[in-house]
């Protein structure tokens, strides 16, 4: 018996979705699963469960949030790159600050989108990543270009490492109470009196991202309001 003729239709893209917010995760499953060329083979609320699903189903790509419990998106991306390098990682997150972007890309993410992206953009990014291409949100592209420009501008004023008379760089002291470098940076801007909108503009962040960082700053510093956070910043030299 001769084999059945090929229909020419490529197989559906098999994906896993990982996001700790059930409403977001379930919405993505419904939205993307409704597309004829995408097959959602599993969804997970954290990085560890996402890795287990990838090992079980061997998908083509994974759509991954960054901030999740148990194992966050950066840690999950590193392990995926090491254990399942054939699976394309597409980050879909609220956070578009330079630290999050660079950490994700360095860990092995192929594409980076913010949650402002619509279903079509997400689907296109997943397909592109699975074929070996990278897709970056326009906001992320602007941020990386700005960071690169700032790096180029700073180089002429810097002494070459090891050059005679070059001062030794001071050791980096981590911020107190578990604050990240980005959170400490935002706290310093709060202490200078900047509004959320001004902070967002200066750091190339969305207002929503700034609000999320400030909520975490308040929690870590036990600050009830902005005034308390400013007092904390002054006491700790931030």
Residue 223's CATH number: 1.10.10.10
Please indicate, yes or no, whether residues 138 and 183 belong to a single structural domain of this protein: no
Whichever domain contains 95, its CATH number is: 3.40.50.2300
Cα gap 74→86, rounded to integer Å: 17
Residue 150 lies in a domain: no
Domain boundary pick from 96, 121, 142: 142
Domain boundary pick from 123, 142, 161: 142
- H/E segment holding residue 142: helix 138-154
Please indicate, yes or no, whether residues 19 and 130 belong to a single structural domain of this protein: yes
Tokens representing 71? Answer: 């194992």
Please indicate, yes or no, whether residues 36 and 137 belong to a single structural domain of this protein: yes
* Residues 207-232, mean pLDDT to the nearest whole number: 88
- Select, from the ranges 37-51, 89-103, 112-126, 184-198, the one with the highest average predicted confidence (pLDDT): 37-51
Residue 149 lies in a domain: no
Of the listed ranges 22-36, 37-51, 75-89, 129-143, the one predicted with least confidence: 129-143
222: pLDDT strictly greater than 50 = yes
Higher pLDDT, 10 or 53: 53
165: pLDDT strictly greater than 50 = no
Please state the pTM of the whole predicted model: 0.61
201: pLDDT strictly greater than 90 = no
Please indicate, yes or no, whether residues 19 and 131 belong to a single structural domain of this protein: yes
Please indicate, yes or no, whether residues 127 and 216 belong to a single structural domain of this protein: no
How many CB atoms lie under 10 A from the CB of residue 68?
24
Per-residue pLDDT reduced to its tens digit, 81-94: 999 999 999 999 88
Domain extent at residue 220: 178-235
Please indicate, yes or no, whether residues 37 and 99 belong to a single structural domain of this protein: yes
Please indicate, yes or no, whether residues 21 and 95 belong to a single structural domain of this protein: yes
3-state helix, strand, coil in the chain (%, to 5): 50, 10, 35
Of the listed ranges 28-37, 140-149, 159-168, the one predicted with least confidence: 159-168
Phi, psi of 5 (to 5 degrees): -65, 145
The packing angle between helices 226-235 and 181-191, to 10°, is 110
Please indicate, yes or no, whether residues 132 and 183 belong to a single structural domain of this protein: no
Of the listed ranges 19-33, 56-70, 163-177, the one predicted with least confidence: 163-177
Exposed e or buried b for every residue in 94-131, given b needs 16+ CB within 10 A? bbbbbebbebbbebbbbbbbbbebeeeebbbbbbbbbe
Number of structural domains the chain divides into: 2
């Amino acid at each position: 018996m001769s084999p059945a003729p090929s229909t020419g239709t490529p197989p559906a893209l098999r994906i896993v979705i990982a996001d700790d917010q059930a409403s977001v995760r379930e919405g993505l499953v419904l939205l993307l699963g409704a597309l004829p060329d995408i097959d959602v083979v599993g969804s997970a609320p954290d990085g560890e469960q996402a890795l287990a699903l990838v090992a079980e189903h061997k998908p083509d790509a994974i759509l991954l949030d960054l901030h999740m419990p148990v194992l966050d998106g950066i840690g999950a991306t590193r392990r995926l790159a090491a254990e399942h390098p054939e699976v394309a990682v597409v980050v879909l997150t609220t956070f578009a600050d330079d630290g999050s972007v660079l950490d994700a890309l360095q860990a092995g993410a192929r594409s980076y989108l913010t949650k402002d992206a619509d279903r079509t953009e997400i689907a296109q990014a997943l397909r592109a990543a699975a074929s070996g291409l990278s897709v970056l949100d326009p906001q992320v592209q602007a941020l990386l270009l700005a960071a690169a420009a700032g790096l180029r501008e700073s180089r002429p004023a810097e002494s070459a490492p090891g050059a005679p008379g070059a001062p030794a760089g001071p050791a980096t002291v981590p911020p107190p109470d578990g604050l990240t470098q980005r959170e400490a940076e935002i706290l310093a801007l709060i202490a200078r009196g900047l509004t959320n909108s001004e902070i967002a503009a200066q750091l190339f962040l969305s207002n929503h991202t700034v609000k999320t960082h400030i909520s975490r700053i308040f929690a870590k510093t036990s600050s009830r309001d902005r005034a308390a956070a400013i007092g904390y910043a002054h006491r700790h030299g931030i």
